[in-house]
Amino acid sequence: MSRDRFERALLKVLKPLVIAFLFLITAFPFLYMVMLSVRDIQELILDPGSLWPRAFTLDTYVNVLTKQGFLTFLRNSAIVAVASVAVTLLISIPGAYAVARLRFFGRRQVHFLFLAVYLFPAIVLAIPLFVLFTMIGLRGSLIGLILVYIAQTVPVTVYMLRNYFETVPRSVEEAAAIDGCTRLSTIWRVVLPLSKPALMATGLYAFMIAWNEFLFALLFLVESRESWTVSLGLSQLAGSIEIPTTVLMAGSVVLTLPIVIVFFAGERLLTEGLTAGAEKG
């Protein structure tokens, strides 16, 4: 057997094994968390080493969603996350297109100044924002939290979309202009359909930031329980000695599951390019 055929045969065997191994070590913590969340606390105390429960129970989820108020927290997090994604993309799309296609003074400097926001740790901005939001009456408000998340995500989404917009062939846009499309209609009818994978990736990034963020949610909403997000509610469960481990795990599943669902729902757009038929630059 030649060396090439041997290497191909070896890779053919190792590839599924490596994929299975990586999947196992990645999925096992989440699986264990789910198994703990559907166990009775008495069974867990008597047999803490068992992975598979003898009997499944959903009482932990009923407790989390009703008694602990996670239905309200889920609603708040959904409002914050969806609004943050929508406004972030609304601002980032024209901004990224302008940096990618238009020529203006200071274009390169503006591009890198967007990322300069991340030179400052979040805690440095927390106190000034706390004082500002207190003065203008936005502390304890979901609107204030949405504004903070938009400011956090817009710079990096502009950077991500700008890099993708530069890969869209100029000839496609020129053809649209010849057909009578304005700059805005070219973006809407040509650039955005070809950029769906990038839009999905940046939207998912903004969604994850808004859904999981804890520092600013704690700083601005801690005094207003009815406005808490899921991450803030979960920290309250983790800090209470009266909350059973099974209920805490159920809260963790409730926090994690929407991200998993959104990722798998958009996985096709994240992995396949929709530029089929366009000129490749």
Least confident of 5-9, 82-86, 172-176, 233-237: 5-9
Residue pair 71/65 in contact (Cβ under 8 Å)? The answer is yes
The pLDDT value recorded for residue 107 is 67
Question: What's the confidence (pLDDT) of residue 142?
Answer: 92
Residues 229-264 have pLDDT tens digits of 999 999 888 877 778 888 889 999 999 988 888 888
Q: What pLDDT sits at residue 13?
A: 85
Task: Assess contact for 237 and 68: CB atoms under 8 A.
Answer: yes
* pLDDT over threshold 70, residue 201: yes
Could you tell me the pTM of the whole model? 0.82
pLDDT digits (tens, 9 = 90+) for 101-115: 887 776 667 767 777
Joined tokens for residue 61: 């989820």
pLDDT band for 275, please (50, 70, 90 cuts). Answer: very low
Is residue 37 a contact partner of residue 234, using CB atoms and an 8 Å limit? no
Q: Note the Cα 115 to chain centre separation in Å.
A: 19
Confidence of residue 87 (pLDDT cuts 50, 70, 90): very high
**With 50 as the cut, is the pLDDT of residue 184 above it?**
yes
Residue 138: name the closest of 210, 40, 216 by CA: 216
pLDDT at 61 over 50: yes
pLDDT(89) > 60: yes
The reported pLDDT for the residue numbered 111 is 65
3-state class percentages of the chain: helix first, strand second, coil last, to nearest 5: 75, 0, 25
pLDDT value for 230: 93
* pLDDT at res. 45: 82
73 has pLDDT over 90: yes
With a cut of 50, say whether residue 276 has pLDDT above it. no
Return the ∠ at Cα 115 (arms to 90 and 215), rounded to 5°.
Answer: 80
Segments of the chain assigned E as strands: none
Amino acid at 108: R
Average pLDDT for 53-77: 90
DSSP structure class, residue 119 = G
Please provide the average confidence, as pLDDT, over all residues in the chain: 84
CA angle (137, 141, 147) in 5-degree steps: 90
* Selection from 97, 70, 207, 222 nearest residue 152 by Cα: 207
Q: Which residue has the higher pLDDT, 140 or 50?
A: 140
pLDDT confidence band for 70 (50 / 70 / 90) = very high
**269 Cβ contact partners less than 8 Å away, ≥ 6 residues apart:** 196, 197, 199, 200
